[in-house]
Amino acid sequence: MMDGTAIRIEAFLEMMSAERGAAANTLASYERDLEDARSFLLQRQVRMVEAEPDDLRAYLGHLARQGFKPSSQSRKLSALRQFYKFLYAEGVRDTDPTGILDAPRKERSLPKTLSTDDVTRLVELAAQEAAAAGGDLLQRLRMHALVELLYATGMRVSELVSLPATVLAQDGRFLVVKGKGNKERLVPLSRSAITALQAYGARLAEERERQEDAKESPFLFPSAGKGGHLPRQVFARDLKALASRAGIRASTLSPHVIRHAFASHLLQNGADLRAVQELLGHSDISTTQIYTHVLEERLHRLVQDHHPLAKQAKKPD
């Protein structure tokens, strides 16, 4: 025979199924999470329907001590919030004990990045392959231009592959990039990026002249695919292949990693955080501040590896 709490949980699950159309897997997850909380509260001699905020804080603390990640704790707390909102709506309780609880803070993962040496190797190999004779020269020139542009500007890969063909007609060391929300920003081009872009543009024009029926594309990096421009996935695949040839572990590399390298290397060399925010197209500086954590980690390792007192501390007694 079910007790009062079990009956309430069953009623809650029935409501989630009938009124909100929750899937079977979702319902099973809710049931497991609620039963887990119920079991913990019973050990504290607290009925779940009568639990107070401190009881639930103790439960979250218990989860943390058990090694549950903040994301898993948040999921279980979400189930509790839904359950107690149901009890409140049904008049079983006159308060919601989860209303004043803070969600477990998720650790923000540090972005992967590349050393300046690795980026140099990558760019130099792309340049060498673009200068070699034979094979698909246009594709190699395109790859060189893509890598140079990506590292010079820190563009998002979606912004890079969809650049307009009008870029080839402009004269100057700055590029107007249309980012999220159609917001435009100005990004500088390095001399090597301009050179690579010009070489690619010249070859692209030659190819079009040879193909009399070739249609003009509005994109700088055209493709016969549905989008009309080079797909992000194709560039990511080719970038990994280039990294492998350069002796860089391909699994660690993606276009986004080069964007991270752009930001990290600027800050390492004294760039202002606000300036980096503008160049990356971040609407909120807190998004850019993650790169300061990358620098903090690097400086910490630097001290641990090279400071004489740190070395002494590592020596065994």
The catalytically annotated residue of 8, 142, 156, 203 is: 156
The catalytically annotated residue of 140, 259, 260, 265 is: 259
The catalytically annotated residue of 57, 93, 208, 282 is: 282
Residue 203 designated active-site: no
Residue 81 designated active-site: no
Residue 180 designated active-site: yes
Side chain identity at residue 157, one-letter code: V
Residue 256 designated active-site: yes
Residue 291 designated active-site: yes
The catalytically annotated residue of 44, 180, 293, 307 is: 180
Residue 76 designated active-site: no
Residues carrying an active site annotation: 156, 180, 256, 259, 282, 291
